[in-house]
């Protein structure tokens, strides 16, 4: 069942527990170009919060410490020739390893 918007808001406000917390990461802010220390909180299949204060970590929250790692949103490759050098399966395997999630 999809997570509803109210649940996501409650997690973001620290009023409900996240299912998963990815903590101590360096997060790339794609709007400012800066790298910030932050945590990512997940509820269900959705990101509920990205920021410094991860107040929604509870006793049932699975916590993954990614200290020393960088987190970035999935990247989009808007110009690719998928059939020139590789099969689609080969290309997608390489793309995902590099962070590209949409072609």
Whole-number Å distance between alpha carbons of 62 and 41: 10
Task: Say whether pLDDT at 101 is over 80.
Answer: no
CB 23 within 8 A of CB 66: yes
pLDDT tens digit sequence for 18-32: 999 999 999 988 788
The pLDDT assigned to 82 comes to 66
- The domains located in the chain, with CATH, are 1-72 (2.30.40.10), 73-103 (no CATH)
Dump pLDDT digits (tens) for 53-92. 777 899 999 999 999 999 887 777 777 776 677 787 887 7
Looking at every residue in the chain, the average pLDDT score rounds to 86
């Amino acid at each position: 069942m999809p997570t509803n918007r109210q649940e996501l808001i409650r997690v973001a406000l620290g009023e409900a527990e996240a299912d998963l917390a990815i903590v101590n990461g360096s997060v790339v802010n794609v709007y400012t170009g800066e790298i910030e220390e932050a945590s990512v909180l997940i509820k269900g299949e959705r990101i509920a919060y990205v920021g410094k204060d991860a107040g929604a970590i509870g006793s049932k929250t699975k916590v993954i410490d990614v200290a020393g790692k960088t987190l970035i949103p999935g990247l989009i490759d808007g110009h690719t020739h998928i059939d020139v050098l590789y099969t689609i399966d080969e290309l997608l395997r390489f793309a995902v390893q590099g962070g590209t999630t949409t072609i």
